[in-house]
């Protein structure tokens, strides 16, 4: 079980003060220092989302992280020609294609791989030609998993947001959907990842989902880091992952 730490919100904090003056030596927090702290604490990779509106991660961050990381870079991106061109220049180890809505606070819902199949296919072909592994951030729905397999994606990242936001029987139902989806994806030979809304409490239930290879977690870790520091927050999540029961 691997942990990818999403550091978008480290950049969110920086942009709140220094969006027009990133070259100033006092522009902080330093995104490279944040990534290094995560790696030293045991993170297996760094995840960032280069959004079309550049609300947090900037182009320069992507290129700088690609050079600095000692683990791997997982670049989240919408299906945009502009962002695809950057991805093909940067060549991260992995790209995760996500839906993107400029009005949302963060990515909400999964990519409609089935409905957008013709639009996604050339993007995956170009990423694969560049030697980049591709994941699709999708709802735990069988038709979406089937579409991901037909598109040739190596991985799916199951959207855990509905589970994270539910309570009682609704949460149990969403957890069961995740389990069924994971079994189906693994049966098709896809690597199964998960992300969105995972925290230090609900991770025990998330890890009852079979076949999970990697979790991508950001907000909860950065939130804890406000009180403990980033390294300890990452270490705490890794401890929670190792302590939770697995199917």
Q: Give the separation between CA 164 and CA 218, rounded to whole angstroms.
A: 14
- CA 158-162-228 angle, 5° bins: 85
Of 170, 238, 163, the closest CA to residue 200 belongs to 238
Catalytic residue list contains 128: no
CB 194 within 8 A of CB 178: yes
Specify whether 219 is catalytic: no
Catalytic entry in 56, 184, 196, 211: 196
Q: Are 50 and 86 in contact (CB under 8 A)?
A: yes
**The token pair that represents 94 in the structure block:** 């992995």
Q: Are 49 and 76 in contact (CB under 8 A)?
A: yes
Q: Per the residue annotation, which of 76, 100, 139, 205 is the catalytic one?
A: 76
Catalytic (active site) residue 196: yes
Q: Which residues have a catalytic role annotated?
A: 49, 76, 196
């Amino acid at each position: 079980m691997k942990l990818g730490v999403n550091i978008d919100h480290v950049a969110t904090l920086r942009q709140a003060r220094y969006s027009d003056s990133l070259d100033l030596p006092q522009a902080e927090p330093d995104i490279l220092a944040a990534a290094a702290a995560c790696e030293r604490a045991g993170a297996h990779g760094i995840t960032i989302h280069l959004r079309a509106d550049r609300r947090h991660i900037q182009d320069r961050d992507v290129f700088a992280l690609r050079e600095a990381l000692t683990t791997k870079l997982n670049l989240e991106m919408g299906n945009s020609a502009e962002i695809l061109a950057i991805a093909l220049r940067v060549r991260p180890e992995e790209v995760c294609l996500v839906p993107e809505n400029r009005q949302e606070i963060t990515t909400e819902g999964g990519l409609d791989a089935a409905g957008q199949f013709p639009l996604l296919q050339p993007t995956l072909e170009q990423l694969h030609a560049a030697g980049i592994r591709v994941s699709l951030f999708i709802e735990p729905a069988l038709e979406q998993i089937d579409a991901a397999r037909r598109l040739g994606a190596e991985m799916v990242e199951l959207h855990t947001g509905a589970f994270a936001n539910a309570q009682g029987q609704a949460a149990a139902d969403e957890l069961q959907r995740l389990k069924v989806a994971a079994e189906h994806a693994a049966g098709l030979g896809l690597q199964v990842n998960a992300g969105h809304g995972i925290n230090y409490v609900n991770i025990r239930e998330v890890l009852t989902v079979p076949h999970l290879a990697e979790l991508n977690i950001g907000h909860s870790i950065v939130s804890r880091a406000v009180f403990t520091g980033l390294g300890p927050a990452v270490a705490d999540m890794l401890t929670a992952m190792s302590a939770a029961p697995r199917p």
